[in-house]
Every structure is written in C-alpha cells, then in structure tokens.
Structure 1
Amino acid sequence: MARSHVGLGSQESAKSSVTRLFEPPHLSLTNLGPLLLLVFAALWIRYTIIYNQFLAYRKRDNAKASPLTFPYVFPLLGSLPLSYLWQPRGFVLDQSGFFQSVRPVLVKILTQEFYVIRGPENIKALFKNSGACTPIPFIKFALGYAFGLPKRALKLYDRDDSGSGHVPHPGSKVETRNRIDYHDHQSMAQFLEGRGLLPFWNRFVENITTQLYNLHDRAGADWTHHADLMEIIGNEATVSIIDALCGPYLLRLNPHFLQDFWIFDRNLQTYLQGIPWFLAPKAYAARKRLLKAVEVWQQHARDNYDSSALGADGDDPFWGSSFFRERHEMFLQMDGFDHAAIASVDFGAIWAVRNSITAASWAIFEIYRDPELLASVRAEVDTCAFNGADGRLQFDIDQLRLPILQAVYAETLRLRMHFYIIRMPDRVDMNIQDWIIPKRKVVVTPTTVAHMDSTAWNTGSNNEHPVDQFWVGRFFDCPLNNNEGKEQSHSFSDSPTFSTKGLEGSWIPYGGGPRQCPGRHFAKRQILLTIALMVNLFDCEILPEGRDVQEDFTLKGFGGGVSHPAGKVPVRLRRRKRDGM
C-alpha cells in the first residue's frame, strides 16, 4: 500500500509538470515590476531624446521649417492635459506647457492634432494670413453642440466649400443660396459694421438710459442693499440690448427669457464638452426653453409684420432689427433650414452680446472698488454729460472716448477675456514667420496667454503692477504717479493719453484679421456708455465680502469669453450725492 501511494504521487507530480509546460507564463507582481520599469525607462529615454531635439528646435533659425511636435512620454496619450480638467487657466499659463512655447509647436492629444502659436509677432502673422482660412468646422461645432442646430441644417456646412470671399473658390459647386458661411458673415458685417449699427445703437442708448433711470428712481437717496452688483448691471444691460436688437416682443412674450439666458451662458462649457442631457437636465431644459422662445417671437413677427410699419432705417417693432427679418428670408432659401433651425442660429447671434455685458459689469466693479479711479473717471465723464429734452442725462458717444475711461475698458478686456482663437488654413499652407502650417490643420492661440505675457506688458517701474492685476496705466503713453512703487495705482501726473499702439498681437480680445469680431464697435460703445451712466447716476459701496471676488477659472467657467465672477458682489447703492447736495 505504501508503494502504491508513492507511485500515485509521482504520477500526479509528473502530470503536473507536463501541464505546466503548456500553460501560459504567470506574471506575478514580482516579475511584472521589472518589465514595467523597463518599458517606462525606454519611454523616458525616447522622451529625453525628443525633448533635447525640441530644445534645439527652439534655438535654430531654419527658414521654411515645419513646427516640431511638443514632447510627450506616452505615445497613445500624447500631451494629454489632465491637469486642465481641474485648473484650466493654470494649465494654459504653465511655463513648461505647450501653450507657452516660444515657437509654433504641433500638439498631439490622443487622435487629435493641432498647432499652437504665441507671441505678438507670430499672432500678427496669423491674423495677416487668416484671410485664406476657413471658420466652418468651428462654427459648425459651436452651432451643433451649444446652440442645438439640427443635423439637417448642419450638413450644409459640410458641403460649403465655396470659401469666405465674394467670389466662390474655383471648382466649388455649391449653389449661391447655399453659401452659408459667406451669407451669414455678410449679414453680420452689414449689421454691426455697416448700415445697421447706428439705428441699433440709438435704440440701445434710449433703452439703457431708461433702464438705469428707472433703477435710479427706485434707489432713493438712502443706501439700499443689493445682493449682487454684477447681476444688477447684467440684467439692465441685457434687457436694453435685446430690446434694441429684437424689438420688445421677444422678452414680452417670454418673461423667463432673461433668467434662462444666463443659465445657458453659465453652462456653455457643458454643451461644448458634449455632456449628455441626462447629466445636466437643467442646463438642457433652459436651452430648450430659449430656442422655443425665439421660435415663438419669430412666429409672432411673421404673423404681425406689416411693411407699412417700417421705419426709415428698415427696422420694425415685430422683428426689431431688419437684420433678423432679412436673415429669416435668407435662411429659408437654404437647404435643410426651417423655423427651428433659424431659431438656433439667431439665438447664437443674440447670445453673443453677453461678452460686452459681462465686461461692463467687471469694469464698473473695478471702478467702484477704487475710490481714486472712481474720482478720475467721474471727473472725465462729468465734463461731457448734458441734459436732453426730457431732462435726463445724455452723452455723445464720440466725446466718451476719454483716456481713463477707455483704459478701464481696454484693461477689463485684457484681464477678463479668456478665449481660444482658432484658425484653419483652407486650401494652401499658412506661413507664420517662415514656419509652415499645413492646410486643413487647426491653429490655436489663447487670448489668456497673450494678455498675461509679462514681457509684452508694462508692469510698472518696479513690477508693482503684475499682469494678473487690474491697472489702467498699461494703456497710457504718459507717465503715472506711482507713489514710488506703492500700491496706489491711479494717480495721474498729467493728462494721460490712451493708446493701444505697440500692443498689436498682445491685446486681442476681438481676435484679428478679416474675421475678427464684427460686434467690437458696438461692444466698446456699450461698455463706455454703461459705465458713464452708472458712475454719474449712482454711489455704490462694495461690501467687504465682495471686494476680492475672483474669476471663475473652473472648467465650467473658463474659455468661453469674458469670465464670470466666482461669487456674488454684494453692494449698497443710492442716488449719487453731488457736491453741495
């Protein structure tokens, strides 16, 4: 029995040995570690070689060179910006990151590639050569993701290869009526840079003056508490602009439009990131209500429009600006467009006013929290105010181009505008300072990088005004009383002279080139006038808990234009008390 037991054990042992010969090798933690270490070492050696090549690339002066790829460790991931998810502004301004490369670079992230440029000269070259670029992929992306343009209308952008010029590209077979990019941009330019601007502006002047005088009447002579200065200015300016743009019926027929407008705006990145509706139901519900509101307004306009009600400028009370009435006719002639699609693109045009509104709120915040700056702005503004026939305060917008006031406007946009300027060369390669960007490749430059470049901006004689702080002195030609480097920053030695000369490629809140923001003329006027009315009509005391409010630099708040504050700005407000009163 003993021998039998031993034999059985030997047979089982032999069988087990044979079986192990045909089993796959088992990777334990003990032998897996060295293997991973070997792989990582190989990847690191590869990265070191590429990084050294990249350093040499930054120093060479090869003409007609192609930008080198920004170094990365893991081939499949590329330069995946994980830290961008929780600190997007910090990532953009990281001196070791690809957005800070002094020369154009190619960035690879997963399956995507794009070129990054920075620096005033490179940006000026980008704008100079952007006439041969196409904005269609980015317009399609924004309209589809953010503004809900139906797929049948989005297809028109895919087929439009006619270019942005008056004469279509040779070989393009797109019908004239379907040249969506050209017609859309032309309608915008004619309205905001041509014949439509003055009547639109005049209506806004009347509206904002009425809105702020009504607030003035409600404020009274004694201090009254308000939860948020930014909300006050935002609401008054938004109502004024939308009524001037669309006539009175959009807001009259849709009383919750204003609230939904700002919900949509706060959730812009939610839509652009493609977050599904079931993860953000309130955001998508607000967008649905807004698009329906535009449809309701435009249906009312179609039902009630009467050509006999046209004003001398071609505008009417139902459509508001002739801009919308004419676009309506234009889009209905295009393939894939119906009333719902038109509501999407027109809401996009309406939403675009948010940048100047938010900028005006920030500018007024900066003025009221600095008594010296407030006194300087008021001294300027008071010199050109006059009473109209109705007894209300009025301003000539041309006289409001005052140096300190304009510097407040420009510095606000420098500090608060966070946007990605994107271009794509269409049919030929792009030359940027002899660096070649291949056609149909994306080029990106963030306004934040240009606006926060301490080598391009005046920061004071002793660097007492760093670029991440508000200081109007950056836009003056004449010297300032800096109190020998002390914190006081708005004491002026002589009559200052406002200038943006020499800041081309560094101050870029509106982009540049043929497709720079067509609304820039209205935006500047709107900001200057809103500031002038507020400081002339109101005293405002920003309460301590609101004085140091920060910008919203989260993933949800960064990159969509002028930033929102991360919190509220509580204030006390009253009618302005003047000397002797």
Structure 2
Amino acid sequence: MSFDLLALQTTHLGALFLLLIAALWHRYAANRRSFTAYTKRENNKGVVPLTFPYIFPLLGSLPVAYLWNPRAFVLSRNNFFQSLHPARVKVLTQEFYVVRGPENVKALFKNSWACTSIPFVKFALEYAFGLPAKASSLYTKDDSGDGHVPHPGSVVEARNRIDYNVFQCLVRFLEGKGLQPFFNRFSHNITQQLHSLHDRIGSEWGYHEDLMKVVGNETTVSIVNALCGPHLLKLNPHFLQDYWDFDRNLQTYLQGIPWFLAPRAYAVRKWVLKAVQVWQQHARDHFDESAINADGDDEFWGSSFFRERQEIFLRMDGFDHAAIASEDFGAIWAARNSVTAASWAIFDIYRDPELLVRVRAEVDTCAIKDADGLIRFDIDQLLRLPVLQAVYAETLRLRMHFYIIRMSDRAEINIRDWIIPRQKVIVTPTTVAHMDSEAWSTGLKNEHPVDQFWAGRFLKYPSKSNTQLGDPTFSTKELEGSWIPYGGGPRQCPGRHFAKRQILLTTALMVSLFDCEIIKDGKDMKEDFTLKGFGSGVSHPAGKIPMRIRRRQNAEDAH
C-alpha cells in the first residue's frame, strides 16, 4: 500500500510539474505575441517600452548563454539585445532598457543631456581600479549634474562636484588647448620609437612571435611618456608588462571575482597602482614652477593634466595620494583602446597585399624626411587620406565591443516617443550596432559580410556602380547611430580626437618603415570573444600573431 501511495504521489507531482510548465509556456507565448504586436505599432507617443518576454518569473531573461559566448549571445536574433524597439529587460531583481537601431540610438544620444553615467563610473573605479570607499562615496553624493550650473536643490560643494570637475579636466586636455601639445609629444615619441626599432631590425626577414606585442609596446611607451613624462617608466621598469597584464584581467575585477580566487590578477593591480604612486611621489619631491614649459607641461608630471588633477582631487573630501593613483591609472589605462586598435589596423593592412599597396600609395605622398633622416608626417594631411581613414573606421567598427550605459537622471527619456522613466538604466551595445547587416554595406554581391574586415564600407566612389573608379571619399556622417565606437551625446569620449590621430600616425609610420609578413597561422586570427575578453572595448586576438619583419625594401625609393 505504501509503495502504491508513493507512486501515486509521484505521478501527481509529475502532472503538477507539467501543468506548471504548460502554464508558464502559455504565459510566455501570450507575452511574446503582445511584444511582437508592440514592435509593429506606429503610434508610440507616451508608451513605456514593454518587458521582453521570459519564461521563468524569478529568473527573468537571465542570460545564461552569455557565459559561454557573449558575442554570439548579443548577436542572437532571439534575445533582447536585438529588439527592434526599446525594450525593458528583467534579470532576477534588476531591470534595464535596451536601445538599438540607428534612429533609436541617435535619439538616445540627442536626449542624453538628461542622463548620468555616475553610477557606472563609480562601479568601474571601485571594482577595476581599486578606488577606496572614502573617495568613491563622493560619486554617490554628487547630485549636482554635469552642467556648469549645479542642479537646483543640490548641496554638493563646488570642490566636491567630482563628476563635473573630472570630466571638464578631461575635456580641457583632450578637446581643448591640451590636445595639440599632447599629440606633438606623442608624435615625437612614436617617431623615435619606431625608427629605433627600424635601426635594430635588419634588411633580412626576422621572426617575431606577436605583431600585437611589437606594435602595442612601442605605442604604449610613446603614449605613457607623452602623458606622464619619462619618470613613470624609468622608476618602474615592469610597468609596461603589468599594464597589459592588468588589461587582460579587467573582467576579473569587474565581475567581482574575489582576490583569493585570482591572486595574480590582484597582485598585478597592486603593482600598477604602486608604480603610479612612486612616480607621483617623485614628481611631488622634484617639481618646481621653473620646470614648466611654454605648453604648461613639465618633466616630472608630464602633461599639465596630471598636475591639475592633483589640485582638483586634493581639494575634495576623502581623497589621498592612493585614491588619486587609482583615478590617474584609470586615465592612463584608457589609452589601451587606441593602442590595440592601431595594432589591429596594421594587422589587417599587412595581411591584405592590395590594401597595403593602396595605403602606402597614400601615405608616401605626404611622408618627408627631416634633417636627421626620420620620416615625419603632417597630421592634417593624414586626416585627409580616405583609405587610411577607412581602415581606421573599419577597425573600430569590427573590433570595438563595449556597452554604452546611461541612466535617466532627473527626467524621463524620450526616444522617438517611447518613454523611459527616470532613474532607469539604458544599455546600447556597440557590437549590435556595428554588426547590423541592414545598416552596413556588404558589397555589390554581399561578398563582404559584416563580421569580416573591409575598408570599402567607408569609401564612396564617383561611379554610380560603386566600382573602384576614381578617387574615393571617406565619411562617417551617413552612419550616425550605426558607427558608435566613441558613444555619443554630451559625454561622447573626449579622447576620440587623439585616438584617431594616434592610430593614423602609428599605422602610417609602420607601413612606411617596415615590411611585415603575417605567418600563415596568424592570418585568420580571431578575436577573443570569451567572457574574459569581450565587452571591455577594443578586443584582443585569441592568440599571438606571429610575423616576419624587415626594413621596408623600397622605403628609400618612396621618400
């Protein structure tokens, strides 16, 4: 009897389970139909985006598949990142809104004056860069907004307006009077670095195990010296290696993995922060006003940018030298996107002989040798070269994988009449925009799919047939909302002007000075789309890119 009763109970539980699954599926199907109808509606005035359908109430749209292949997940036609219209997404107890599509993205950027990114800046500084709690609490308290005039009702003192003060300092340096001196220093440094490499490399082919490391190291040294002066690297010989080790562990920090599960990663972070503190203590000990040059820079702090930040932060509550080091290393680390992008651009040029010929034909026309025998370029001329610019733009389209995150602040956000309520998180993945086959040219016969490098996406030819006749022109204006490597709106990346110049100049110098042959195993190198490598900005390769390199054989004839 007891056995029969147990069997009966088991049967009833099984039936209840199947009934529950059927009910959940019925609910999901009904929500799916409603959501599909919502995506087809034309009058959206005042409509709050619907919730993306999910099956299990407590889990919501939990992105389990993201853990195995994040890029494949965000590009899957069946998930919330591909919703044609803004959609509310529920994951466990959290919710956010997804915005995709050129017109929706443009509307988001247009209205992002009503958004804030403070919570996400605070998160990154705490988790990735180790900003101490006392200093990071200023971000929590800062309700003054990002305008010159604080929000009405804000009681934050002017000196503690951390978001506004830090961003304005960045703008002055990267969009104002600081940009040209900074780029001039970089131009001098990278020219010296690559000519030194040229002198060390013979006229015969030599093997190097990784193109990305060769280009990345030379470029990183040049940027760090241009930013910080010579003493950061002189005082900390291992900084370059630690910088890139930190970068490869970024997702470890952002995911909140505890230190005892990743001791090496956290040791690397400790080393880079200590290096910044050692350099800045040296600057405090040796700097005096007489060291400042005509551009406002000096040998010890490097650019005036870091001197100014010292003054800004030390006036704020909760900031000491360790906290400043976290903030300043974050600013130094941010150069990694343009460095890695330059390496990818050079890789894609050298593995395509036809493209190499075209790029060299352009840059050779504006390369000159100075009295010391160094090849130099006028950056204004480089900025007018269509094929070189197309390589730059296509590199960022294909390789930039980042989440543009905003939060509606004191007002709701209107996105083409859809209304996103205030204090809600909005997410726009660059990968989704950059891989939208409906927004991007794929060639006359679709011979250039969006997941492959093709500089022609950014080139226009006089011929109506779009064949490669006549001189091409370059422009990204028609691609607003689709090409978004720097975000958009009032908080568009202020480093975009330097990044473009850095990538163009580094690429022009490399193709002018060197012949490179990507060894077979590296020609089809894929990006690192694992959870560790995806979503932090410009991607890394999945492995090393072996190459052979020599001095350019016809360089003398070209110049």
Q: Is structure 2 residue 30 aligned with structure 1 residue 54?
A: no
Match of 1:36 in 2: 17
Q: Select 1:385's aligned residue among 354, 367, 371.
A: 367
Measure how far apart 1:188 and its partner are. Answer: 0.3
Distance 1:303 1:369 in 2: 49
Find out whether 1:72 has 2:54 as its counterpart.
yes
Cα deviations across residues 306-345 of structure 1 (Å, max 9, x unaligned)?
1111100110000000100110011001011000000000
Q: Is the 8 A contact 2:98 2:426 kept in 1?
A: yes
Letter in 2 for 1:50: N
Find the residue that maps to 1:79 and give its secondary structure. Answer: coil
**Could you tell me how far apart the structure 1 residues matched to 2:192 and 2:363 are?**
19
1:357 aligns with 2:333: no
Partner of 1:540: 516
Instruction: Provide Cα deviations, 1:93-132, integer angstroms capped at 9, x if missing partner.
Output: 0011100000000000001100001100000000000011
Q: Does the aligned pair in 2 maintain the 1:481–1:492 contact within 8 Å?
A: no
Select the residue among 440, 458, 468 that pairs with 1:475.
458
Query: Which of 499, 504, 514 does residue 528 from structure 1 map onto?
Result: 504
Cα distance between partner residues in 2 of 1:579 and 1:507: 35
CA contact (8 A) 1:473 1:480 kept: no
Q: 2: distance between equivalents of 1:363 and 1:500?
A: 17
In structure 2, C-alpha distance between the alignment counterparts of 1:245 and 1:470, rounded to whole Å? 31
Asked if the contact 1:362/1:412 (under 8 Å) is kept, the reply is yes
* Contact 1:248-1:320 within 8 A present in 2 as well: yes
Tell me by how many angstroms 1:480 deviates.
8.1
Q: In the alignment, is residue 566 of structure 1 matched against residue 542 of structure 2?
A: yes
How far apart are the structure 2 equivalents of 1:309 and 1:137?
38
1:33 deviation in Å?
Answer: 1.4
Q: Which amino acid aligns with 1:100?
A: Q
Question: What code does the residue aligned with 1:532 have?
Answer: A
Tell me how far 1:241 sits from its aligned partner. Answer: 0.2
Matched, 1:514 2:490: yes
Secondary structure in 2 aligned to 1:398?
Answer: helix
Q: 2:462·2:471 contact (CA, 8 Å) conserved in 1?
A: no
Deviation at 1:501, TM superposition (A): 2.4
Letter of the structure 1 residue corresponding to residue 397 of structure 2: R
Distance 2:237 2:10 in 1: 65
Could you tell me which of 386, 400, 409 is aligned with 1:417?
400
| 1:500 Cα deviation after fit | 1.1
| Aligned length, in residue pairs | 554
- Report the secondary structure of 2:474's partner residue: coil
The correspondence of residues 450-461 of structure 1 with structure 2, limited to 5 A, is 450-461=433-444
Q: Distance in 1 between matches of 2:110 and 2:30?
A: 35
- How far off is 1:406 after superposition? 0.3
CA deviations on 1:208-239 (whole Å, 9 max, x unpaired) are 00100010001111111000001000000000
- Report 1:147-296 matches (<5 A): 147-296=129-278
Identical-pair percentage: 72
Query: CA separation of 1:481/1:380 partners in 2, compared to 1, >3 Å: closer, same or farther?
Result: farther
2:300 pairs with one of 308, 318, 321:
318
Work out the CA distance in 2 between the residues paired with 1:105 and 1:231.
41
Shift of 1:29: 3.8
The alignment partner of 1:410 has SS state of helix
**2:404 aligned counterpart, secondary structure:** strand
If you compute each CA radius of gyration, which structure gives the higher value, 1 or 2? 1
Instruction: State the one-letter code of the partner of 1:567.
Output: G
Kept in 1, the 8 Å contact 2:512–2:555? The answer is no
Of the three residues 398, 401, 404, the one matched with 2:380 is: 398
TM-aligned CA deviation for residue 59 of structure 1:
1.0
Q: Choose the corresponding residue for 1:449, options 426, 432, 441.
A: 432
Structure-2 residue corresponding to 1:299? 281
1:61 to partner: Cα distance: 2.1
Distance in 1, matches of 2:556 and 2:395, equals 33
Does the alignment pair 1:128 with 2:110?
Answer: yes
How many angstroms does 1:26 deviate by?
Answer: 9.3
State how far apart, in whole Å, the 1-side matches of 2:9 and 2:345 are. Answer: 63
Q: Any idea what SS the aligned residue of 2:77 has?
A: coil
2-structure distance, mates of 1:198, 1:512: 23
The alpha-carbon distance between structure 1 residues 177 and 27, as it changes in their structure 2 partners (threshold 3 A), is: farther
Misfit runs of 4+, over 4 Å: 24-28, 479-482
What amino acid is the match of 2:375?
L
Residue 101 (1) aligns with residue 92 (2): no
Partner of 2:415: 432
Q: C-alpha displacement at 1:203, in angstroms?
A: 0.6
Contact 1:117 1:443 (C-alpha < 8 Å) held by counterparts: yes
Q: Aligned partners of 2:422, 2:370: CA distance in 1, in Å?
A: 56
Inter-partner Cα distance in structure 2 for 1:118 and 1:327:
36
Distance 1:171 1:371, change over 3 A: same
Task: Please list, as runs of the form range in 1=range in 2, the aligned pairs for 1:497-512 lying within 5 A after superposition.
Answer: 497-512=473-488
Structure 2: distance between partners of 1:299 and 1:336: 19
**In structure 2, what is the Cα distance between the partners aligned to 1:357 and 1:31?**
63
Partner AA of 2:275 in structure 1: A
Q: Distance in 1 between matches of 2:37 and 2:210?
A: 52
Q: CA deviation at 1:34?
A: 1.1
Residue type of the partner of 1:467?
V
| Counterpart in the other structure of 1:344 | 326
Give ranges in structure 2 of 5+ residues lacking alignment. Answer: none
Deviation readout 1:358-381 (Å, 9 max, x if unpaired): 000000000000000000000000
CA contact (8 A) 2:112 2:490 kept: yes
* Partner Cα distance (1:184, 1:564) in 2: 29
TM-score, length of structure 2 as denominator length: 0.97
Cα distance in structure 1, aligned partners of 2:473 and 2:409 = 41
Look up the SS of the partner of 1:418 in the other structure. strand
**Contact 2:182–2:227 (Cα < 8 Å) also in 1:** yes
CA gap of 1:505–1:27, structure 2 versus 1, over 3 A, is farther
Q: Deviations over 1:1-31 (max 9, x none)?
A: xxxxxxxxxxxx9xx9xxxxxxx99985433
Measured after TM superposition, the shift of residue 32 of structure 1 is 2.1
State whether structure 2 residue 122 is matched by structure 1 residue 140.
yes
Residue 6 of structure 1: aligned partner: none
1:85 aligns with 2:61: no
- Residue 268 of structure 1 deviates from its aligned partner by 0.8
State how far apart, in whole Å, the 2-side matches of 1:229 and 1:480 are. Answer: 37
Structure 2 letter corresponding to 1:43: L
8 A Cα contact 1:407 1:498, kept in partner = yes
The aligned amino acid for 1:404 is V
How far residue 282 of structure 1 moved from its aligned partner, in angstroms, is 0.8
SS of match in other structure, 1:513:
coil
Ranges in structure 1 where 5+ consecutive residues have no aligned partner: 1-12, 17-23, 485-490
